Amino acid sequence: MALRPRKRRWRRWLAYALVAALVLFGLAQLVPYGRDHANPRAGAEPRWDSPLTRALAADACFDCHSDLTKWPWYSKVAPVSWLIQRDVESGREELNFTQWLRAQDGAGDAVEVTRSGSMPPWYYKAMHPNARLTSAERTRLADGLERTLRASPSGG
């Protein structure tokens, strides 16, 4: 009989924790950061070495590294929206394929991170099947980026 009061206390604690989590989730929706999903006007792109390189880059890179971001429904739900907004802002700052006339700090690293497979990150690939490049596609993209960057260096 002594187990019953403990079991009830545990259930009560779980109910309070669930209510608190729901309240926090609701309050997080009031934070405006991560909700403004208007893409800036896309500018000049590099002179791609081939349509295949651009297509592979569009699938694997453009959502964070261009002004052509596709914003899925979950990008409007905090706290995921905060993480996505941060990734897009930092990605565009580092390398933006649709603002090629400005200096691109990350252009030189693009080939290496593509070849190593560290870009796109695992959590992006989990939700974007098109970004899951095969080894051959990753090699084609890295080689194509290398040729593109050589023939069309970023401005600035």
Q: Under a CB-based contact definition with an 8 Å cutoff, are residues 97 and 70 in contact?
A: no
The pLDDT score that the predictor gives to residue 11 is 87
Does 136 lie in the same domain as 73? yes
Whole domain around residue 13: which residue ranges? 1-30
Per the domain annotation, does 2 fall within a domain? yes
Does 66 lie in the same domain as 18? no
Does 109 lie in the same domain as 140? yes
Return the ∠ at Cα 87 (arms to 83 and 90), rounded to 5°. Answer: 135
Give the pTM: 0.80
The pLDDT score that the predictor gives to residue 112 is 95
Does 69 lie in the same domain as 7? no
Does 87 lie in the same domain as 10? no
The pLDDT score that the predictor gives to residue 2 is 54
Distance CA 31, CA 41 (A): 25
Residue 107, both tokens? 């252009």
The pLDDT score that the predictor gives to residue 156 is 58
Per the domain annotation, does 13 fall within a domain? yes
The pLDDT score that the predictor gives to residue 30 is 80
The low-confidence residues of the chain, meaning pLDDT below 50, are none
Does 143 lie in the same domain as 92? yes
Instruction: Tell me which residue has tokens 């990734």.
Output: 87
Domain count, the chain: 2
The pLDDT score that the predictor gives to residue 135 is 95
Per the domain annotation, does 4 fall within a domain? yes
Distance CA 3, CA 41 (A): 64
Per the domain annotation, does 41 fall within a domain? no
E-assigned strands of 4-47?
none
List helix spans (H) across 29-99.
51-60, 62-65, 80-94
Per the domain annotation, does 140 fall within a domain? yes
